[in-house]
């Protein structure tokens, strides 16, 4: 079994402030370690479930966060950013059996995590076919584009609710919940245990029930915090300006959405 794991930091246990996500901040080290510990737990669960190949994308910030020496030897680690539209699931293709998303977080516009955002903090929201999009949803569509199911997600409680509402067969592990500019988290060691057990459970289950058939048409609306970003983005081929802060984009191909998001700010 060949497994792909994408790891972010804003949905790790205990994290609550942007300083804790910044590799240049003194607050970062503890959460770099927790991000790594949760990634290791996902690997251990996958190996217990029978995984023979594991690819892991360091998917936060610079793409240079995970302490690679702590990862199991079976892992191939993808660091940095190639510039491919698949972004946080770079190198994913149809040779993989399943995708795991670890340390993911609620969408832009959500109050479920003090660090809620979608890809960049410049957006008030990204909406696809009437659904506000998280990084989970975008990369779920990316995985579906190459016909690979997302079977496991860990992160904040709000994201896990959104995942279960979309497909309750996807295994979720909630490690925290947001209240205003604060968070309530389970113990970091308990998060590691639950992620390890959850991944094993997900991969030993019927992963076909997690497979997504993408819609035939996508209508995307992106609302920016600053009007000048919307003005600029409206010049992307196929984009239209809906109002001073919002652009629209229609396509039948999810790859075109991901390509657009790569180039607009």
Binding site, by residue number, is: 8, 10, 60, 105, 135
DSSP 168: T
What are the backbone angles phi and psi of residue 93, rounded to the nearest 5°?
A: -150, -175
| Residues 195/173, Cβ–Cβ less than 8 Å | yes
- Secondary structure in 3-state letters for 82-151: CCCCCHHHCCCCCCCCEEEEEEECCCCCCCCCCCCCECECCEEEEEECCEECCHHHHHHHHHHHCCCCEE
Which member of 17, 84, 117, 145 is catalytic? 117
Binding-site annotation: residue ranges for Zn(2+): 8, 10, 60, 105, 135
Residue 94's CB is within 10 A of a number of other CB atoms, namely 9
| Residues 113/159, Cβ–Cβ less than 8 Å | yes
- Active site annotation includes 117: yes
DSSP 235: T
What positions carry a catalytic annotation?
117
């Amino acid at each position: 079994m060949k497994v792909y794991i994408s790891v972010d930091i804003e949905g790790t246990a205990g994290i609550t402030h942007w300083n804790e996500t910044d590799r240049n901040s003194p607050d970062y080290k503890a959460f770099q370690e927790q991000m790594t510990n949760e990634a290791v737990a996902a690997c251990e669960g996958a190996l217990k479930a029978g995984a023979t190949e594991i690819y892991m994308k360091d998917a936060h910030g610079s793409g240079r966060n995970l302490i690679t020496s702590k990862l199991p030897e079976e892992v191939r680690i993808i660091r940095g950013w190639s510039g491919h539209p698949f972004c946080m699931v770079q190198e994913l293709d149809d040779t993989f059996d399943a995708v795991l998303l670890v340390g993911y977080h609620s969408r832009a516009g959500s109050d479920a995590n003090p660090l809620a955002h979608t890809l960049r903090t410049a957006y008030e929201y990204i909406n696809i076919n009437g659904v506000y999009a998280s990084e989970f949803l975008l990369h779920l569509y990316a995985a579906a584009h190459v016909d690979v199911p997302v079977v496991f997600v860990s992160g904040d409680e709000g994201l896990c609710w959104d995942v279960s509402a979309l497909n309750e067969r996807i295994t979720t592990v909630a490690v925290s919940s947001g209240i205003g500019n604060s968070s309530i988290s389970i113990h970091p060691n308990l998060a590691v245990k639950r992620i390890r057990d959850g991944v094993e459970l997900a991969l030993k289950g019927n992963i076909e029930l997690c497979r997504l058939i993408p819609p035939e048409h996508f209508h995307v609306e992106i609302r920016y915090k600053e009007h000048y970003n919307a003005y600029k983005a409206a010049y992307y081929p196929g984009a239209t300006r809906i109002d001073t802060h919002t652009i629209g984009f229609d396509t039948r191909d999810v790859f075109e959405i991901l390509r657009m998001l790569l180039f607009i700010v």
